[in-house]
């Protein structure tokens, strides 16, 4: 394939200036709230009262995603990707863009693969999250183009404490940073020209950046910076915890110095790559993180260091303001830990986004736990038919059976995706996932309580499902009116002022262009014991009264 130079003159026309202003404002932490925007506006994030929305085509959008395997972002592999995406009813595919492919020779860019992916996504009516496999991929630099790999002194890896080379790129290498900025800017510039309809809605900058097997870089260049005063911006972010006098990293951070220094260095680097990309085309951008244990983390060095782990989110926010979201890759099987991660990453200054997670039946229900925390997107990893077995993180074989639990989430949520995203942004929605030993969950809606129970039949008492796979979503759409859906659970309501609940009307239906259409009315067995959801995707509009 003939390389193509995408370098072209930067235009100084008004939209570019407005885009630059938007980058500047987002860098200052200023986010305008425009939940309903004009249809052609750029995808962007909004925040209001600590809740977040990803605005796509002028309205809140919920990513019901699937990430393909690492080596599936090639035209030869796409025929094995789309059938899985279609079967899942996913509305978004997360797919890598490989630096080694995009810039096969210095300054020669090949956008053909990206163009093919975009074209096919449109044919499948699916949005894209592009994953820039650039300087970092899982802490290493294996996606650097060959011409960079052949010059390891110019594009170096870091040194461990004892002076040995570690298989992780240096965040202190000006040539690597310049090259990444150059390539990523070319990608964003190309997207701006090639994607006026915003098939690409979000960009991940690098992949699980940081380093394994060392806490930081101990090269002479890194050591010099480590011995210099901690940057003023970081001290400011510490507020009253900042020391009275400036000090170097060890003096200010004591035993955390190595870890914090690496987080700062990696975040600073990636923040510059993202800012340069946004100057070309300001799509929202995020960084995904390999997590530390959210409950019993253990010492630094036992998890990937330098990435956006929960203890250094504050450093990342200061060092990389062009990164909109710090996003956890959640592979925890233990639901208490899964929930803790959701809690740690959903903050007024950080929209919750789960760009990678497992897809087992029990993990599939955690989509609803994430919704309960206001997530803007949820996306299991490795969901394509390329035959790569991602054990133990994923299923031994990806088949329709192994995809079914996630497909159920998306069959339920897909048709109401816009309403769910909007109601969540407005703070009217609650969603829950079943928990072992918690067979009933009660949700407070002011004048009504919603009661979700699991493993219940007719007038029996709840026993929980054999596997914890229940999930429910309830949104208050009027004083006595609710949107209700779920799977493997029963939903009922209790009037808080007292009296007995009366189902005035229970309609199964769906939305079309924001307008509710009723298919038919539930009554008799379907409502006498409560509203029972099985494995069928059903959405109800419920009007309540009392007697």
- Binding residues (CB under 6 A) for ligand DGJ: these are 70, 138, 207-208, 288, 329, 356, 381, 390, 393
Smallest gap, in angstroms, from Cβ of residue 131 to ligand DGJ? 8
**159 three-class SS:** strand
Q: Do 64 and 414 meet the contact criterion of CB atoms below 8 Å apart?
A: yes
For ligand DGJ, the nearest residue by Cβ is 208
58 sits in which H/E element:
none
What is the distance between the alpha carbons of residues 347 and 52, in angstroms, rounded to a whole number?
Answer: 9
Q: What distance in Å separates the CA atoms of residue 470 and residue 487, rounded to the nearest whole number?
A: 6
To the nearest whole angstrom, how small is the minimum distance from the Cβ of residue 338 to ligand DGJ? 16
Q: What is the spatial distance between Cα 362 and Cα 409, in angstroms, rounded to a whole number? A: 12
Q: What does each C-alpha distance from 187 to 7, 9, 130, 180, 394 come to in angstroms?
A: 10, 15, 10, 10, 30
Q: Which candidate, 189, 196, 210, places its Cα nearest to that of 102?
A: 189
By C-beta, is 140 or 538 nearer to ligand DGJ? 140
Query: In angstroms, what is the minimal distance from the CB of 355 to ligand DGJ?
Result: 8
Q: Rounded to an integer, what distance in angstroms lies between the CA atom of residue 264 and that of residue 317? A: 10
Residue nearer to ligand DGJ on the CB measure, 338 or 381: 381
* Smallest separation (angstroms) from ligand DGJ to the CB of 203: 15
Question: Locate tokens 């002076």: which residue?
Answer: 163
State the nearest-atom distance from the C-beta of 331 to ligand DGJ, in Å: 7
Dihedrals phi, psi of 402, to nearest 5 degrees: -70, -25
Closer CB to ligand DGJ, 73 or 171, in the complex: 73
Nearer CB in complex with ligand DGJ: 303/482: 303
What sign does the CA torsion over 20, 22, 25, 26 have? negative
* CB nearer to ligand DGJ: pick between 402 and 477: 402
- The distance of closest approach from Cβ of residue 424 to ligand DGJ in the complex, given in angstroms and rounded to an integer, is 26
Minimum distance of ligand DGJ from residue 132's CB (angstroms): 12
CB of 398 to ligand DGJ, least distance (A): 12
Q: Toward ligand DGJ, which CB reaches closer, 67 or 214?
A: 67
- Give which of 276, 294, 297 is closest to 285, Cα–Cα: 276
Q: Under a CB-based contact definition with an 8 Å cutoff, are residues 67 and 81 in contact?
A: no
Neighbours of 394 (CB within 10 A): 21
Output 331 or 454, the one with its CB closest to ligand DGJ.
331
Task: Walk across the sheet containing 481-487 and list its strands.
Answer: 429-433, 471-478, 481-487, 539-546, 501-512, 515-522
CB of 339 to ligand DGJ, least distance (A): 20
Residue by residue, what is the 3-state secondary structure of 206-233?
EECCCECCCCCCCCHHHHHHHCCECCHH
Tokens of 291: 């997590």
Evaluate whether 108 touches 273 at the Cβ level (below 8 Å): no
- In the complex, the smallest distance separating the C-beta of residue 244 from ligand DGJ, rounded to whole angstroms, is 41
- Residue with Cβ nearer ligand DGJ (207 or 386): 207
Which CB sits closer to ligand DGJ, 206 or 280?
A: 206
Of 329, 255, 326, the closest CA to residue 292 belongs to 329
Measured from the CB of residue 346, what is the shortest distance to ligand DGJ in angstroms?
Answer: 20
User: Strand 59-61's sheet: what is its strand order?
Assistant: 44-48, 51-56, 59-61
CB 432 within 8 A of CB 342: no
Q: Least separation, in Å, of the C-beta of 382 and ligand DGJ? A: 6
Whether 285 and 202 have beta carbons less than 8 Å apart is answered as yes
Q: How far apart are CA 452 and CA 296, in angstroms?
A: 31
Cβ closest to ligand DGJ, residue 288 vs residue 359: 288
Distance in Å, CB of 448 to ligand DGJ, minimum: 41
Q: Which is nearer to ligand DGJ, 103 or 356 (CB)?
A: 356
Which residue, 310 or 356, has its beta carbon nearer to ligand DGJ?
356
- Of 259 and 356, which has the nearer Cβ to ligand DGJ? 356
Task: Give me the helices (H) in 445-546, please.
Answer: 525-528
């Amino acid at each position: 394939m003939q390389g193509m130079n995408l370098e072209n003159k930067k235009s100084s026309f008004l939209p570019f200036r407005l885009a630059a202003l938007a980058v500047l404002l987002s860098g200052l932490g200023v986010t305008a709230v425009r939940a309903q925007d004009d249809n052609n506006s750029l995808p962007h994030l909004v925040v209001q009262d600590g809740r977040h929305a990803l605005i796509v085509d002028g309205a809140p959008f919920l990513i019901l995603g699937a990430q393909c395997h690492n080596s599936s972002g090639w035209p030869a592999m796409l025929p094995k990707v789309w059938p899985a995406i279609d079967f899942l009813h996913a509305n978004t595919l997360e797919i890598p863009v490989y630096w080694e492919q995009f810039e096969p020779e210095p300054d020669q860019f090949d956008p053909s693969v990206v163009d093919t992916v975009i074209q096919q996504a449109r044919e499948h009516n699916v949005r894209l999250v592009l994953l820039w496999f650039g300087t970092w991929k899982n802490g290493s630099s294996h996606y650097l183009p060959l011409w960079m790999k052949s010059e390891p002194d110019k594009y170096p890896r870091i040194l461990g404490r004892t002076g040995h080379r570690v298989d992780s790129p240096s965040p202190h290498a000006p040539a690597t940073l310049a090259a990444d900025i150059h390539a990523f800017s070319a990608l964003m510039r190309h997207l701006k020209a090639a994607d006026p309809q915003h098939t690409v809605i979000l960009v991940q900058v690098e992949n699980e950046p940081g380093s394994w097997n060392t806490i930081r870089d101990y090269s002479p260049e890194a050591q010099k910076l480590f011995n210099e005063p901690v940057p003023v911006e970081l001290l400011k972010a510490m507020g009253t915890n900042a020391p009275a006098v400036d000090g170097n990293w060890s003096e200010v951070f004591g035993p955390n110095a190595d870890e914090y220094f690496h987080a700062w260095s990696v975040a600073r680097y990636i923040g510059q790559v993202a800012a340069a990309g946004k100057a070309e085309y300001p799509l929202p951008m995020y960084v995904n993180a390999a997590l530390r244990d959210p409950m019993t983390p253990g010492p630094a060095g036992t998890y990937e260091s330098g990435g956006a782990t929960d203890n250094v989110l504050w450093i990342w926010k200061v060092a990389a303001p062009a990164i909109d979201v710090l996003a956890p890759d959640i592979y925890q099987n233990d639901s208490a830990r899964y929930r803790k991660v959701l809690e740690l990453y959903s903050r007024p200054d950080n929209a919750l986004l789960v760009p990678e997670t497992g897809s087992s039946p029990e993990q599939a229900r955690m989509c609803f736990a994430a919704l309960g925390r206001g997530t803007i997107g949820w996306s299991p990893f490795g969901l394509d038919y390329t035959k790569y077995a991602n054990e133990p993180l994923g299923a031994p074989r990806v088949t329709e059976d192994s995809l079914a639990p996630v497909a159920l989430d998306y069959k339920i949520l897909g048709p109401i995706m816009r309403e769910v995203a909007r109601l969540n942004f407005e703070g009217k929605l609650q969603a829950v996932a079943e928990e072992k030993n918690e067979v009933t969950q009660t949700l407070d809606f002011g004048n009504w309580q919603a009661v979700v129970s699991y493993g219940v039949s007719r007038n029996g008492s709840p026993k929980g499902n054999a596997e914890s796979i229940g999930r429910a979503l309830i949104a208050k759409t009027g004083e006595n009116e609710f949107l209700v859906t779920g799977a493997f659970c029963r939903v009922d309501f209790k009037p808080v002022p007292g009296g007995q609940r009366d189902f005035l009307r229970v309609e199964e239906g769906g939305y079309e262009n924001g307008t509710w259409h009723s298919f038919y009315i539930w009554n008799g067995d379907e409502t006498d014991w409560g509203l029972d959801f099985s494995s069928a995707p059903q959405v109800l509009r419920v009007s309540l009264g009392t007697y």
